[in-house]
Amino acid sequence: MVTSRHEAAHRIFQERPALLAPTFRLLGVSLPEDARVEVLTPDATELEPIERRLDSVLRLNPRDGSESIMLAIEAQGRRDPDKAASWAYYLAFLTAKNKCPALLVVVCQDKETAEWAMGPFHLGPEDWQPLTVRPLVLGPGNVPMIIDPEEAAADLTMAAFAALTHGKSPDSTAILKALAHALGRTDDDTLTYYSELVDSGLGDTPARQTWRKLMKNGSYFPGRGTLVEETFLKGKAEGKAEGKAEGKAEGQRRSILRLLEMRGIPVSDSQRARINGCTDPRTLDHWLERAFSATHADELFRGEPAAGQEDGR
């Protein structure tokens, strides 16, 4: 099952591709110094016999015109005897489809899984194994623990990745404190992004509770089970006092717009104004539910509550 912890472990490479250079240095593999990074569809299905989907797929296009490189990035939480065949398929598919070399990077958050994932995995009959899969593995064994706030501030992306990777380490508290200290000097958007990424990426671990104590506030990040989302949902279930109604509505409006942004759905100025102008919790609840499945922003406004229930129209 895909969890927020699993999702954060690979999505950070999509959202912060600057992480590629330092992590590949840890792996001893060189990448083009100056390249444009494309985030591609992770769908590796052909002719629809079996659905196959990678976690993240990136293409590095060197600006000097040299050969592109495909990167398949997988987050792996446990040993899985079926993975070697799937990984071989992914590499062969990406190489054949894009006509360029492909590498597999496996991100693990515990030492045992990381050691297993290194392989190599030999596929085929015992007396002749024609395929060998050799993943590049990032895990607690080779990702540094960043416990110096100055070092964390110098590379927030790497510091956040270290916090995710070492979430089960006895030193996790020191790592999280260094990151929290570094984030205290950043702008609101940067603070929001990394605080919520780490919150969701730590999953159901004691380190997550430590992080929540360090980060007293944050932004809404719907669908990820983060502290602010849980607070919002609890308040919604219990009901708010009249004096706090506007604060609740503001949280709902931010959740709707944030979710649409995360799902890559464009919002026009008039649609944004309509959302920000609404103060009715029932209407905002309806729009928030729609935002999880809508393919266009206009779909939010279909089948609304009865007339008179929405303010700001």
Q: pLDDT for 157-183, tens place per residue?
A: 999 999 999 998 888 999 999 998 888
Work out the angle at residue 54's Cα, subtended by the Cα atoms of residues 175 and 87, and round it to the nearest 5 degrees: 95
**Per-residue pLDDT at 160:** 93
pLDDT at 88 over 80: yes
User: What is the pLDDT confidence band of residue 242, given thresholds at 50, 70 and 90?
Assistant: very low
Write the pLDDT tens digit of every residue in 132-143. Answer: 999 999 999 999
pLDDT of 151 above 90: yes
Amino acid identity, residue 87? W
- Do 203 and 167 touch, CB atoms closer than 8 A? yes
Nearest-angstrom CA–CA distance, 94 and 100: 8
Distance separating alpha carbons of residues 47 and 164, to the nearest angstrom? 37
Residue range 81-107: mean pLDDT, rounded? 92
CA distance 91 to 70: 9
CA-based nearest residue to 149, from 219, 214, 201, 208: 214
Q: What is the pLDDT of residues 262-277, one digit of tens each?
A: 667 889 999 999 999 9
Which residue, chain included where needed, has tokens 């016999």? 49
Segments making up each domain of the chain, as ranges? 4-138, 149-214, 235-301
Distance CA 274, CA 269 (A): 9
Tell me, what amino acid is at 57? V
